[in-house]
């Protein structure tokens, strides 16, 4: 009789869009290909979640979600690291998670708990309820390799990692200098650093998991792209949470103008305090157009389009007129670029993005602009790297385009019916159905 009840997976996930999107794609594969039910349990701190709710409300009926009661952060300073906030959001939600999980285990056929990489504090609760438990990693295999090597490094090196004289050698990956470690490693005393030592279990490589399509609603930017020459447009977006400083925003705008290349720019209001100022809310508070250089929009009207609202990124990256992507190197955007074969300009901002950028540059699928001593990319550098990528005859740009095209075909192979990713997901799905 139990076999007639659909097996259910409970997923504990951060509300940040960069984590929520790949988990949703994972859930879709479970329900469409393996007949599971999925429920998201979402810890939060009461920050605005309209974008997240819109996304969640569009899901298939076999995917349910529930926001856990908001946790209180009145005891934290305003400048606390975002990784610390996320870790504490999970740990302070454990009591409400316990109630929700116990109820679901009692009333449905729960076969596994899958947690966000920040949520491993929930493992003790899963063991108490005799639930198999897994981590869903939204970052790269390089991040995982680094994560597994970190305990050894922590035990043998006592200084700050940014001062390490030699790069860290990672199995199967490019060596990594300390300045490019994930953000929590830049201060070994913060809560986020301690989180990196949470345990990992058996690994199933089920990615890349990206969105397969979005409703465009006659998007202005897609209509604009339809009128541009093939491969001529540079798409610029720093993700749902990334922000530039006022000065950097100005330098980017003028650099794009100097490059004389076509561009589609998703601009956000700047922040001089944090590169991830809108991580949770995924929306700008002020009109970003007010911060652009005077006359910029008029002077670039013939070759550029600047938008401040949501854009259908998948459709932009798959559009024939898109020839490059200036990106923050968030892993979702990176995978979406690879799947669609769009070469990159890497501009990392926070989290593990510097690590991703180093890897992409080493793979020769991305160009990297040079930051000055103040951490800024200046207008001349921006103009030069944009020209290099978008110039159809330049050797360096051609190399990046060719390498990305090769990687696109490799990705298609692992996602095919007989590909390694598909087989790996089948393996874990069978394990959950037949424990």
Q: SS3 letters for 235-263?
A: EEECCCCCCCCHHHHHHHHHHHHHHCCEE
Which strands form 37-42's sheet, in the order they lie side by side? 63-67, 37-42, 8-12, 110-116, 133-136
Choose among 335, 327, 326: nearest CA to 140.
Answer: 335
pLDDT grade for 2, boundaries at 50, 70 and 90: low
Q: Give yes or no: residues 296 and 407 share one domain.
A: yes
Domain span at residue 300 reads: 220-413
Q: In what order do the strands lie in the sheet with 322-327?
A: 304-307, 262-266, 233-237, 322-327, 344-346, 366-367
92 shares a domain with 22: yes
Q: Is the pLDDT of residue 53 over 50?
A: yes
Q: Give the span between the Cα atoms of 110 and 122, in whole angstroms.
A: 15
Which CATH number characterizes residue 346's domain? Answer: 3.40.50.2000
pLDDT cut 70: percent of the chain above it: 94
The answer on 393 and 295 residing in a single domain is yes
Angle at 423 between CA 418 and CA 424, to 5 degrees: 150
212 lies in some domain: no
**Residue 282 pLDDT:** 45
Mean pLDDT of 33-59: 90
Same domain as 127, residue 272: no
* End-to-end Cα separation, the chain, in angstroms: 16
183 is catalytic: no
CB 52 within 8 A of CB 15: yes
3-state class (DSSP) for residue 197: coil
Buried b (16+ CB within 10 A) or exposed e, 41-55: bbbbbebebebbeeb
Verify that 309 and 335 share a domain, yes or no: yes
Residue 213 lies in a domain: no
pLDDT tier at 192 (50, 70, 90 boundaries)? confident
Report if residue 161 sits inside a domain. no
The answer on 343 and 424 residing in a single domain is no
Is residue 125 domain-shared with residue 259, that is, in the same domain?
A: no
Residues 241 and 341 in one domain: yes
The reply to whether 427 and 352 lie within a common domain is: no
Residues 247, 312, single domain; the answer is: yes
What number is the average pLDDT over the span 201-229?
83
- Domain total in the chain: 2
pLDDT for 82: 82
Q: Are residues 319 and 234 in the same domain?
A: yes
pLDDT bracket for residue 312 (50, 70, 90): very high
Is 116 labeled as catalytic in the residue annotation? Answer: yes
Rounded CA-CA distance 157/163 in Å is 10
| 38 token code pair | 């999925």
Q: Are 425 and 416 within 8 A, CB to CB?
A: no
Specify if 182 maps to a domain.
no
Look at residue 189 and tell me if it is in a domain: no
> How sure is the predictor about 217, in pLDDT bands with cuts at 50, 70 and 90?
low
| Residue the block writes with tokens 């409400």 | 96
Which of these is catalytic: 75, 79, 116, 121?
Answer: 116
């Amino acid at each position: 009789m139990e076999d007639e009840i659909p097996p259910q997976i409970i997923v504990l996930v951060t509300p940040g869009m960069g984590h929520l999107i790949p988990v949703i794609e994972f859930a879709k594969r479970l329900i469409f290909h393996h007949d599971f039910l999925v429920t998201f349990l979402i810890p939060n701190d009461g920050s605005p979640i309209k974008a997240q709710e819109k996304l969640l409300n569009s899901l298939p009926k076999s995917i349910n979600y529930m926001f856990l009661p908001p946790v209180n952060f009145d005891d934290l300073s305003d400048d606390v690291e975002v990784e610390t906030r996320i870790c504490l959001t999970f740990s302070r939600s454990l009591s409400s998670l316990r109630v929700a999980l116990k109820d679901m285990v009692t009333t449905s056929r729960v076969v596994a708990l899958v947690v966000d990489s920040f949520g491993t504090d929930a493992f003790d609760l899963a063991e108490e309820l005799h639930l198999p438990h897994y981590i869903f990693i939204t970052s790269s295999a390089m991040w995982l390799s680094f994560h597994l090597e970190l305990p050894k490094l922590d035990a043998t090196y006592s200084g700050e990692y940014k001062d390490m004289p030699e790069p860290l050698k990672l199995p199967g990956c490019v060596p990594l200098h300390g300045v490019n470690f994930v953000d929590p490693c830049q201060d070994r005393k913060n809560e986020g650093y301690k989180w990196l030592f949470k345990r990992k279990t058996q690994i199933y490589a089920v990615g890349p998991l990206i969105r397969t399509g979005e409703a465009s609603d006659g998007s202005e930017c897609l209509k604009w792209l339809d009128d541009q020459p093939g491969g001529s447009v540079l798409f610029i977006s720093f993700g749902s949470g990334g922000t530039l400083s006022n000065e950097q925003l100005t330098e980017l705008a003028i650099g794009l103008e100097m490059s004389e290349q076509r561009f589609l720019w998703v601009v956000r209001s700047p922040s001089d305090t944090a590169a991830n100022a809108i991580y949770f809310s995924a929306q700008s508070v002020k009109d970003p157009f007010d911060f652009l250089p005077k006359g910029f929009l008029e002077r670039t009207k013939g070759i550029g389009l600047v938008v401040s609202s949501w854009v259908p990124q998948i459709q932009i990256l798959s559009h024939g007129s898109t020839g490059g992507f200036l990106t923050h190197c968030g892993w979702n955007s990176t995978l979406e670029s690879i799947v669609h074969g769009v070469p990159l300009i890497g501009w990392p901002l926070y989290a593990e993005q510097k690590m991703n950028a180093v890897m992409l540059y080493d793979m020769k699928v991305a160009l990297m602009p040079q930051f000055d001593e103040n951490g800024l990319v200046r207008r001349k550098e921006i103009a030069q790297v944009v020209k290099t990528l978008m110039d159809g005859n330049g050797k360096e740009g051609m190399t990046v385009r060719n390498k990305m095209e090769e990687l696109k075909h490799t990705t298609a192979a692992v996602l095919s019916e007989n590909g390694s990713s598909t087989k790996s997901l089948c393996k874990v799905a069978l394990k959950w159905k037949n424990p």
